[in-house]
Amino acid sequence: MVDTTSFWASWELFRDAALAGTFAGAMLGALGVYVLIRRMVFLSAALSQAASLGVATAFWAQVQGAPPWLATPTLGALGGTLLATAIAGIPDRTGRRDGLLGAIYLVCAAGTLAIGTKIVQELQDIESLLFGSGVAVLPDDFQIIAWLALALGLVQLWLHRGLLHVSLDRDGARVQGLPVRFLDFVLVLSLAAAVSVSTRLLGALPVFAFMVLPALAALDVAQNPTQALLISAFLGALAGLGGYWLAFAASLPVGAAQTLVAALLVLTARVMHFTASRILAWQAHRHHHRLQHQAHEHGPDCGHEPVAHGDHLDYLVDGHLHHPHDGHCDDHGHQ
């Protein structure tokens, strides 16, 4: 049994870190819906690695004597993310966009590890960037991610209809006169800001997980894209906070625990979706047979094969034995 009282008794020790993961999960979860709808999963992976490279470069620049106010990890993460976004945004008529994004991901991951070997004293920080630790979050860092999540939430309230329209039907959005380029710019800038700040605090692994897994679960259970945004934000927040609880309970790295919780949410959503689809199919099947029973009168020339069943005669319909009597039909099971 996990002693949950110990988790909450120690809450003051990692409150800022846990809440930072919660805000990041909600923020990235909502943005992840656009990522999946637009089929930009590789872009999110590339951006998270680019942010890691930017942070590692900032550490290296400090070791080389760069001013701390200039070579800050946050600015490094933002710079790396914006550079990767600019490269990924170069027009490509070869149909090899995924290959380019894969190259960005690999170069940034290799670059982060390479720089890590040059700054041994920061090696633990580099490993945290790749796999996620999110243990020590300063109050100032928590305020940054909280205010960023609030700002992006307000942007969503203002522009989510247009962003969804452009994501679902780009040509239709142009025909209706929506500012497609402006909405694209807002989305890319939101992704860059959210990924860079979150990667700086939590690491690339949980950031990538927050951008993909909650949205994947939400799109399985939501009835419309707007509902998916809300559900994904909630699931992302749940994975962020639940990951800290799992890490505390099972002595796991925080980034790995957050990813596992998010994956569990996807599995749960898939089971719910499968179960609901089977129930709906069963109900539709029953309704179809009920309509057949009401609209069709069985008899010698009705077109259905008569089958002797006990002391009466049934008719075979789609593998079921139908027994007409007293103005209705009973289903006597499969043949």
Span 87-100, average pLDDT: 73
Task: With beta carbons less than 8 A apart as the criterion, state whether 258 and 206 touch.
Answer: yes
- pLDDT tens digits, residue range 257-301? 999 999 999 999 989 878 877 777 777 666 655 655 555 566 666
- pLDDT tens digits, residue range 120-164? 655 555 555 555 555 567 788 889 999 999 999 999 999 999 999
**Cα–chain-centroid distance for residue 217?**
7
Q: Which has the higher per-residue pLDDT, 72 or 166?
A: 166
Give the span between the Cα atoms of 95 and 159, in whole angstroms. 30
Task: With beta carbons less than 8 A apart as the criterion, state whether 321 and 332 touch.
Answer: yes
The pTM (predicted TM-score) of the whole model is 0.76
Span 48-60, average pLDDT: 86
Place of tokens 């025909």: 175
What structural domains and CATH numbers belong to the chain? 4-276 (1.10.3470.10), 297-335 (no CATH)
Kindly tell me if the per-residue pLDDT of 97 is higher than 90: no
Give the model's pLDDT for residue 227: 94
Give the model's pLDDT for residue 288: 59
Kindly tell me if the per-residue pLDDT of 49 is higher than 70: yes
Query: What does 181-242 look like in DSSP terms, one character per residue?
Result: HHHHHHHHHHHHHHHHHHHHHH-HHHHHHHHHHHHHHHHHH-SSHHHHHHHHHHHHHHHHHH
- pLDDT tens digits, residue range 170-213? 889 999 999 999 999 999 899 989 998 888 888 888 899 999 99
Query: Residue 166's pLDDT band (boundaries 50, 70, 90)?
Result: very high
Give the model's pLDDT for residue 290: 60
